[in-house]
A and B are shown apart, each in its own frame.
Chain A
Amino acid sequence: MKPLLELRHIRIELPTRRGTLLAVDDVSFTIGEGEVLGVVGESGAGKSITAAAIIGLLEPPLRLTGGEILLEGERIDNLPPEAFRRIRGKQIGAIFQDPLTSLNPLYTIGRQLVETIRTHLPLTDKQAAARAVELLQEVGIPGASERFNAYPHQFSGGMRQRVVIALALAANPRLIVADEPTTALDVSTQAQIIGLLKRLCREHGTAVMLVTHDMGVIAETADRVAVMYAGRVAEIGPVRQVVKHPQHPYTVGLMGSIPSIGDDLERLPQIDGAMPRLGSIPRGCAFNPRCPKVIDRCRVDRPDLLPAGATEAACWLHAPEVAHG
């Protein structure tokens, strides 16, 4: 089966006065039709930048300097901005963290929906309005036809995020890129939004790239998960395997350090230190100074993703000669 989205050796640079930093360094993964891929990592791991590159919204001076992004087998990373605009919204929808900044405060939500629908679909104003109301109903806005003429500030945070989801789904995209969609919301609202996103994508067969730092959200929503560390994918695999049987020492540490209800631990297992800053990523494996299982090779050679159990991990411990020798 051909993947819906394919990233091949993506490299994103950040030029600064003191030299060029590598924000994303050789990242490859695929998302299948209707699949939910979770991308987790700590701040600065490069997950949001990767998402921005996919929807063509990398903010300068960040720039894509290597690799290819393919949507249904066609390259999209080298398209001119005008051509990309037709893909964004039509084939790739986007949901951002803060619903207040992704809506225009000066227009009613109805107008924003109609505009988005008419940009991408050959519908009249009237048909677009009918579809907009349908979408609002679908995302669970009570009294959708009355709320059609309301402004974003008249909605609560959770309701706004529902409107943003309606906007993202407006043109029936094949893929939605959701960057921290529930981080700005309260826990009880968060659960509703996650449930909604899950249900809608299942019904429409839409694939999702879900970027978040919240492992709990990923565990519940994603089919597969990619764990990022210092601009690279440290581990990728089916969500259950990565959560229950992580193979990369970083993933092991990350999972262990999340407190869980029902776990009576006096101390949480902790990974000492912090993720290196972009300018000072160590040689070899970026995790080697913090890794409890570091071997000589980790300090020199940079590992690529290797098969490890049911997942793939970028760790020399899983190199055939180490694992079996």
Chain B
Amino acid sequence: MAETVLRLNDVRRLFDVSAPWLARILSGTGPRTLKAVDGVTLDIARGETFALVGESGCGKSTVARLVVGLYEPSSGSIEIDGTDIASLRTRKAQAPVRRRVQMVFQDPYASLNPRWRVKDIIAEPIRTHSLIQGEPAIRARVDELLRQVSLTPSDGDKYPHAFSGGQRQRISIARALASEPEFLVLDEPTSALDVSVQAQILNLMKDLQRRLGLTYLFISHNLAVIYHVSDKVGVMYLGRLVEVAAKADLFGRPLHPYTRLLLDTVPDLAMTGRDRLPVRGEVPNPIDPPTGCAFHPRCPLANDRCKSERPSLLAAGGNLVACHAVQEGRLPDWGTNTVST
């Protein structure tokens, strides 16, 4: 298929979550690290939508922040269009690459400066990267961007408080598009919105992708939204990818037991009047994850090997799966999935 736009190579990001120094001395505990992202490798091809799904604390938002450069990876490399970001030493050298990757945040109430007019919010990337010279030309570009997200040029003179959540998210998208990116990182872009507004924003993002040839990294915990927008899906659990597959395979033939669990727990309109399979346990504390496969305490198929040896992401029937049970062929017949794809 198409060329790779974004490549993550065994990316790790650790956070120091130690107690303060004195408290550590007094209680005799050592430093503690949180492995928010623990060895993630993935490729995203031009024009596709790659979705990351997982529960809170699984590291999906940290991946988003690593990709746009809000965090530096602790180890591993991030390549954009074949250029390793870490090889560009200065911010100035990074700017032309960074410009091509933009982000839309979850909360449209927190991600727009309330003291700026919308036209200045949208024009900021244009000015920062000196993409267009002269105020009239910048204003014309801002108007065009506003129209692209179905707002009107007169909206540019208002402040963010005058807009509803959905309209604010349109402004966020217009700002992200201002630097003419090829790649957008969308971190839960519709989670703060009502369903009818969510549909508007999802439709807008699909239109823009088709029109501008954008590539998306789409992060969400909502599997139905992911089913609607994605081409390829990665499932994360406690900082690691446990399964990566094309959408039809992941939803039609999920292999990893955690993916099964997630798919079984989606509240769905089709579930009226049915009881679902009981699920065990909750996501463990990521500061002190279980040994071996992090999912083993909740997994019905766990054996001794799962408790001690961490599975790597290996090919299995078209999917990439990190599971000993899959590799050893211990997967029971769960029956065909009810989802037809």
Contact = CB atoms under 8 A, between A and B. Distances in A.
Interface of A: 42-43, 156-159, 186-192, 194-195, 198, 213-217, 219-220, 239-240, 243-244, 253-272, 274-275
Contacts of A269: 199
B164 A195 contact: no
A186 B56 contact: yes
Given A186-B56, A219-B271, A261-B266, A268 B221 contact: no
Contacts of B167: 274
Given A195-B278, A216-B267, A268-B228, A257 B195 contact: yes
Interface in B267-317: 267-276, 278-279, 282-283
B51 to A, nearest CB: 12
8 contacts: A42-B195, A186-B283, A187-B262, A216-B271, A220-B273, A261-B339, A263-B227, A271-B196
Contacts of B340: 262
B268 A261 contact: yes
A253 to B, nearest CB: 6
Contacts of A257: 195-196, 198-199
A215 B264 CA distance: 17
Contacts of B97: none
A106 B196 CA distance: 41
Interface magnitude class on chain B = 35 or more
B45 interface: no
A266 B206 contact: yes
B264 to A, nearest CB: 8
B269 A254 contact: no
B282 A215 contact: no
A191 B200 contact: no
A274 B195 contact: no
Nearest to A239: B272
B199 A268 contact: yes
A264 B264 CA distance: 19
A255 B206 contact: no
Nearest to B163: A274
A219 B272 contact: yes
Nearest to A260: B224
A274 B164 contact: yes
Interface string B141-171: 0000000000000000000000011110000
Interface in B174-212: 194-200, 202-203, 206
B271 A220 contact: yes
B192 to A, nearest CB: 10
CB-CB nearest 8 A-B residue pairs = A216-B267, A257-B199, A42-B194, A191-B265, A259-B228, A186-B55, A268-B199, A270-B199
B261 A188 contact: yes
Contacts, number: 140
B188 to A, nearest CB: 13
A261 B221 contact: no
A220 B227 contact: no
A214 B264 CA distance: 17
Given A186-B55, A186-B56, A258 B195 contact: yes
Contacts of B264: 191
Contacts of A157: 282
B223 interface: yes
Contacts of A159: 282
B195 A240 contact: no
B336 interface: no
Contacts of B266: 187, 216, 261
B194 A43 contact: yes
B31 to A, nearest CB: 22
A261 B274 contact: no
Contacts of A219: 267-272
Contact of A262 (B165, B227, B275): B227
Contacts of A265: 228
Nearest to A198: B275
B194 A156 contact: no
A270 B271 CA distance: 23
B194 A194 contact: no
Contacts of B221: 186-187
Given A42-B196, A240-B273, A261-B223, A268 B267 contact: no
Nearest to A268: B199
Interface centre among A189, A240, A275 (most CB of B within 10 A): A189
Nearest to A199: B275
Contacts of B224: 216, 258-261
Given A258-B195, A268-B199, A270-B200, A192 B279 contact: yes
A186 B166 CA distance: 23
A80 to B, nearest CB: 37
B147 to A, nearest CB: 16
Interface centre among B165, B197, B278 (most CB of A within 10 A): B197
A214 B282 contact: no
Interface string B238-275: 00000000000001000000000111111111111111
Interface in B212-233: 221, 223-225, 227-228
Nearest to B228: A259
B282 A186 contact: yes
Nearest to A266: B206
A240 B273 CA distance: 8
B270 A260 contact: yes
Nearest to A40: B195
Interface in B312-341: 339-341
B283 A258 contact: no
A274 B197 contact: yes
A256 B272 CA distance: 16
Contacts of B202: 259, 268
Contacts of B194: 42-43, 213, 274-275
A14 to B, nearest CB: 18
Contacts of A217: 267
Contacts of B283: 186, 188
A11 B272 CA distance: 32
